[in-house]
Amino acid sequence: MKRHLEWLLTRNYSVESIRLKEGYLRQFIQWCDERGVGRPQEVTRAVLERYQRHLYLYRKKDGQPLSGYAQHQRLTPIRVWFRWLVRQHRILSNPAADLEMPRIEQRLPRHILSVPEAEQILAVPDVTSAMGLRDRAILETLYSTGIRRLELVSLEVHDIDHERGTLMVREGKGKRDRMVPVGDRALAWIRKYLDEVRPQLMLGDDNPALFLSIQGEAIGATPLGHLVREYIRRSGLQKSGACHLFRHTMATLMLENGADVRFVQAMLGHADLKTTQVYTHVAIRALKEIHTATHPARLERAGETTEQKVTRLRQHEYIESSRRLFGMAESRKPSVTDAPDDTAVDGDAPCLNSSVPVGPKEK
């Protein structure tokens, strides 16, 4: 297994990704050892199917089963490992070649903060203390940019461009760099932290990390998660989560306020637009307004009439909202030209969605 992990490292996999794969492989190897399977050559398709059933029946500390995504995440490193063993001629056949993987659910984020709720959490740190001011800068950065936890702990001082109002994420998920805009308020808190707190936390001049711990080192990912979760708990909100809660909130609020889904995709660093489109189903405000205005089972509203509201919602705002909600680009209308039919190339099939009838070709 160690040689396989070294091979992944030479293929430029991130250290965090290799660490997770190693943990899942060790769980599988320990499970096999407990059942008398001590060598990779002894693993068969039936053994893998038993382990897959073990993951399906496994229960976490809170009594909940592993999701389809979690099961898939634990089985994928095993498939990669056995494929590598075959290529290295360490085993004759790959028992995981035809292993059917569990389906991954299309689940929505469990909790999303409203603007007042987000402000309530941001107000919890005691900004009169050094650590409280640092924590407020951290929360403001998470809320403004929506970056991941590991991306925040990897930030360095020179990654913040105060003049342009941007933040550089270096080697984010998938080892992709991206430039992210930062709001003026978050920049102001970062500047205040840099001027008043960070010099007190530094133990030397050679640490480039932006957010430092009380020991003078870069704050770790696990302590950061505990820190944010504690502030959410102390806010009194009946919602759970940590750093990713601000990521969900930022994406949802931007979509509800009219941001195009592709701009949100660029901010979040998603390689696939489908991943970002999950948030379009959470951004429900525009659909709620349309439902309230058009569904017959409603209470009468004073002021604007129903007809006026329907007319307003069916204009440009309605089109943009529908595009964000369902992830569908507005269909392009076919262009009708005055060119004669005999300009078509021989063998070309007529366009099925064209509104121009295609007749027989003139000789």
Number of CB atoms found within 10 A of residue 71's CB: 20
**Which residue is listed with tokens 């080892």?**
175
Q: pTM of the prediction?
A: 0.68
The single residue of 136, 247, 248, 324 carrying the catalytic annotation is 247
Catalytic residue among 45, 72, 79, 173: 173
Query: Residue-wise over 193-228: b if at least 16 C-beta within 10 A, else e?
Result: beeebbeebeeeeebebbbbbeeeebbebeebbebb
Helix (H, G, I), strand (E, B) or coil at 167: strand
Both structure tokens of 124: 């919890």
Q: How many whole angstroms separate alpha carbon 80 and alpha carbon 153?
A: 29
Residue with tokens 């059933």: 53
Q: Which of 324, 329, 316, 361 is nearest to 343 (CA)?
A: 361
pLDDT tens column, 266-317 = 899 888 888 888 887 777 777 777 878 888 876 665 455 555 555 555 555 5
Which among 54, 111, 244, 323 is annotated as catalytic? 244
pLDDT at position 208 is: 92
**CB-CB neighbours of 122 under 10 Å:** 19
In the residue annotation, 35 being an active-site residue is answered as: no
Residue 324: the pLDDT is 57
Catalytic (active site) residue 270: yes
Q: End-to-end distance of the chain based on CA atoms, in angstroms?
A: 71
Q: Give the number of residues written for the chain.
A: 363
Instruction: Determine whether 309 is an active site residue.
Output: no
Instruction: Provide the 10 A C-beta neighbour count for residue 8.
Output: 19
Tell me which residues of the chain have a pLDDT lower than 70: 298-363
Task: Please pick, among 148, 149, 248, 324, the residue that the annotation labels catalytic.
Answer: 148
Rounded CA-CA distance 223/216 in Å is 14
pLDDT of residue 353: 42
The pLDDT assigned to 256 comes to 86
Work out the angle between the directed axes of helices 285-294 and 306-313 (0-180°, nearest 10). 140
Strand, coil or helix: 212:
strand
Whether 134 is catalytic: no
Active site residue 148: yes
Domains of the chain: 2-87 (1.10.150.130), 115-244 (1.10.443.10), 261-326 (no CATH)
> Can you give the pLDDT at residue 356?
40
Q: Is 13 noted as a catalytic residue in this protein?
A: no
Query: In which order are the strands placed within the sheet that holds 160-161?
Result: 160-161, 166-169, 178-181
Contact 252, 283 (CB under 8 A): yes
Q: How far apart are CA 145 and CA 183, in angstroms?
A: 8
The residue type of 349 is A
Pick the closest to residue 325 from 262, 281, 289 (CA basis). 281
Neighbours of 100 (CB within 10 A): 8
| Amino acid residing at 166 | T
For the stretch 87-123, pLDDT in tens is: 999 999 999 998 999 888 777 778 889 999 999 999 9
Q: What are phi and psi of 138, to 5 degrees?
A: -65, -50
**Two tokens, residue 60:** 């976490």
Residue type, 62: D
Choice among 4, 134, 136, 270 that is catalytic: 270
pLDDT of residue 65: 92
